[in-house]
């Protein structure tokens, strides 16, 4: 299944009058509309290979059919997303879920769809068939040096796959930790993990980054060895200037002030990138912006302010990735919604009157500060996001077109109703 330019053009023609009216209305009221639209056109969010199938929970999985069965079909799915929104121009792979067999063919396929390879993800949180040693009691933290070595070698292997595909970064998420008090010596676990990460760092090419992803709990429920941004920052600082912290929005304890974390990591030059998703209770991996859109906006507010302050390029100096999957939606429609939510929050953050906010802060004018932020947050920027899509050659309304073309129906015809994606 492919979506061609004519199908997009026809869809856009049908919506043209309404879109133009909506866009002109907003444009009239706002300064810098053209520059915001251009920034939206340029902004790309990487899609995780593991979000293209129904994720399920540990209690069950309800497959929707037509899911990708291999890496080639995952790339094809992201190609469909990118054709629909022109904002999903990258894929993030997870090894060993996505082992590429023929690098040249995979590169060529991605290229045909206009996709790049974003961060590579390693996996030392599951035991794979035929694996010599078990990660039951951790990987890089393990008391047995041989297990640590196996984890390090796996990560080096992931880097090698990434080099072949043109990726420039490695994300390491460790499930290491303990389930009960006394199980682990915290200091030794930290030391072992640092030493292992250092060995991986040594193997990192000059122009690569390593992202240390933290998570407060799960699958370990008493302690986690990279449990929060403080611990991740410690590792990243000790490793060196190619190492950064990765923020997954679902990995904090309840009510954590993620926007403040983002601000300080940026200030230290140690923010590497994001895994976007949303949550109500824990690491729920729900559609970005579906539960706490104001938090997402506040995070983008800090991102725009902090990146501009450091003269960073919004499009390439941080890794923008989604990390979500769930049980009940069509995964492709869900990802279209996530990308849309990210672009909306970004556009709103670009609208903030920074001068007025700085002034209000200097005057301790709390009411005014809130007014300034919420003026931007309550602006309906959807016509700007749609305009950016139109100008980039994407669909004005991607989900509508996805349904009109019966993309899922076509995929079910091609791949079958009972498909299991490799991965989670
Ligand atoms: C862990 C995590 C991490 C993994 C992904 C599958 O919860 O967020 O990024 O690689 O999920
Ligand atoms: Mn993640
Ligand atoms: Mn997670």
CATH number for 278: 3.20.20.150
Q: Calculate ∠ Cα 224-227-230, nearest 5°.
A: 145
pLDDT value for 60: 87
Q: Is the pLDDT of residue 284 over 80?
A: yes
Residue 372 Cα to ligand 1 middle (Å): 35
For residues 159-173, give the mean pLDDT. 98
Q: Cis ω on the peptide bond leading into residue 101 (within 30° of 0)?
A: no
Question: What residue ranges line ligand 1, CB within 6 angstroms?
Answer: 50, 121, 173, 213, 215, 248, 275, 283, 323
The answer to whether residues 419 and 69 touch, using CB atoms and an 8 Å cutoff, is yes
ipTM of the complex: 0.99
By residue range, what is the domain housing residue 284? Answer: 5-415
- Mean pLDDT of the 3-13 span: 97
Using pLDDT thresholds of 50, 70 and 90, give the confidence band for residue 117.
very high
Distance between CA atoms of residues 296 and 289, nearest Å: 7
0.95 surpassed by pTM: yes
Q: Is the pLDDT of residue 258 over 80?
A: yes
Domain assignment present for 244:
yes
Task: Determine the pLDDT at residue 31.
Answer: 87
- Supply φ then ψ for residue 279, to 5 degrees: -160, 155
- 213 Cα–ligand 2 center, Å: 7
Neighbours of 34 (CB within 10 A): 10
Residue 422 lies in a domain: no
Residue 333 lies in a domain: yes
- The reported pLDDT for the residue numbered 424 is 59
What pLDDT does 421 receive? 64
CB 220 within 8 A of CB 184: no
Q: Is residue 421 part of a domain?
A: no
Rounded Cα distance between 252 and 230, Å, is 12
- Structure confidence at residue 331 as a pLDDT band (50, 70, 90): very high
Helical packing angle, 5-29 and 382-392, nearest 10°: 140
In 253-378, which residue ranges form alpha helices assigned H by DSSP? 258-267, 293-309, 331-351, 354-362, 366-377
Ligand number nearest to the C-alpha of 174: 1
Within-domain flag for 322? yes
- CB atoms under 10 Å from CB of 35, counted, come to 10
pLDDT in tens, 193-229: 999 999 999 999 999 999 999 999 999 999 999 999 9
Tell me if 423 is assigned to some domain.
no
Question: What pLDDT score was predicted for residue 59?
Answer: 87
Domain count, the chain: 1
Classify residue 424: in a domain, yes or no: no
Residue 420 lies in a domain: no
């Amino acid at each position: 299944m492919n979506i061609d330019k004519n199908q997009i053009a026809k869809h856009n023609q049908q919506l043209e009058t309404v879109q133009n009216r909506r866009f002109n209305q907003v444009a009239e009221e706002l300064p810098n509309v053209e520059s915001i639209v251009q920034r939206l056109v340029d902004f790309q969010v990487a899609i995780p290979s593991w979000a293209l199938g129904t994720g399920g929970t540990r209690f069950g999985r309800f497959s929707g059919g037509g899911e990708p069965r291999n890496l080639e079909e995952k790339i094809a799915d992201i190609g469909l997303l990118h054709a629909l929104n022109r904002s999903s121009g990258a894929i993030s792979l997870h090894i060993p879920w996505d082992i590429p067999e023929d690098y040249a063919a995979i590169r060529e396929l991605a290229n045909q769809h206009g996709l790049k390879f974003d961060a590579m993800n390693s996996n030392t949180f599951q035991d794979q068939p035929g694996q010599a040693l078990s990660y039951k009691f951790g990987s890089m933290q393990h008391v047995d040096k041989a297990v640590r070595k196996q984890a390090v070698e796996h990560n080096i292997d992931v880097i090698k796959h990434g080099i072949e595909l043109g990726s420039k970064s490695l994300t390491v998420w460790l499930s290491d930790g303990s389930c009960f008090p006394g199980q682990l010596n915290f200091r030794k676990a930290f030391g072992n993990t640092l030493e292992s990460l250092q060995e991986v760092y040594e193997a990192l090419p000059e122009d690569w980054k390593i992202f240390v992803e933290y998570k407060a709990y799960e699958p370990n429920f008493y302690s986690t060895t990279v449990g929060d941004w403080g611990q991740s920052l410690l590792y990243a600082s000790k490793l060196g200037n190619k190492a950064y912290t990765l923020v997954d929005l679902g990995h904090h304890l309840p009510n954590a002030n993620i926007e403040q974390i983002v601000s300080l990591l940026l200030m230290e030059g140690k923010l590497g990138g994001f895994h976007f998703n949303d949550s109500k209770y824990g690491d729920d991996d729900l559609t970005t912006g579906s539960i706490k859109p104001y938090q997402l906006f506040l995070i983008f507010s800090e991102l725009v302010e902090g990146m501009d302050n450091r003269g960073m390029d919004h499009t390439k100096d941080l890794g923008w990735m989604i990390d979500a999957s769930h049980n009940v939606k069509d995964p492709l429609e869900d990802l279209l919604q996530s990308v849309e939510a990210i672009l909306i929050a970004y556009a709103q953050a670009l609208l903030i009157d920074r001068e007025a906010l700085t002034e209000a802060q200097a005057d301790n004018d709390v009411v005014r500060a809130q007014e300034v932020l919420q003026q931007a947050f309550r602006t309906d920027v959807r016509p700007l996001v749609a305009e950016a899509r139109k100008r980039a050659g994407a669909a004005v309304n991607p989900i509508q077109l996805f349904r009109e073309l019966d993309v899922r129906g076509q995929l079910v015809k091609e791949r079958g109703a009972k498909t299991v994606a490799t991965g989670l």
